[in-house]
Amino acid sequence: MALLDPAAAREFLEAIIAAFSVLGGLMAYFSGFNAYRSLIRGHAPPVLAHAVNAGLGEGFAAGTPGALIALMIMGWT
């Protein structure tokens, strides 16, 4: 008797990958959007770096609920 079903492990990994994809995508979107806005306004590089970091934080905050929902959907299907 196997302790871990290979099919179940694969489905679990797919669910984890989907969750991290949602989270990473939103973090990339928010950091890129903030960088674009900062560049358009002509801010100095330190301000641009701060905008990118702030965008990563905003993306993490916005993406965490979506990532959890993606994990639940992929886990239950």
Query: Average pLDDT of the chain?
Result: 91
Question: Would residue 17 count as lying in a domain?
Answer: no
Question: Would residue 55 count as lying in a domain?
Answer: yes
Question: Would residue 31 count as lying in a domain?
Answer: yes
> Closest Cα to residue 35, out of 15, 18, 56?
56
- Taking the C-alpha atoms of residue 44 and residue 32, their distance in angstroms, rounded to an integer, is 16
Question: Would residue 64 count as lying in a domain?
Answer: yes
pTM of the model: 0.82
> Can you give the residue range of the structural domain that contains 38?
23-76
Please state the domain count of the chain.
1
pLDDT of residue 6: 78
Could you tell me the pLDDT band of residue 2, with boundaries at 50, 70 and 90? Answer: low
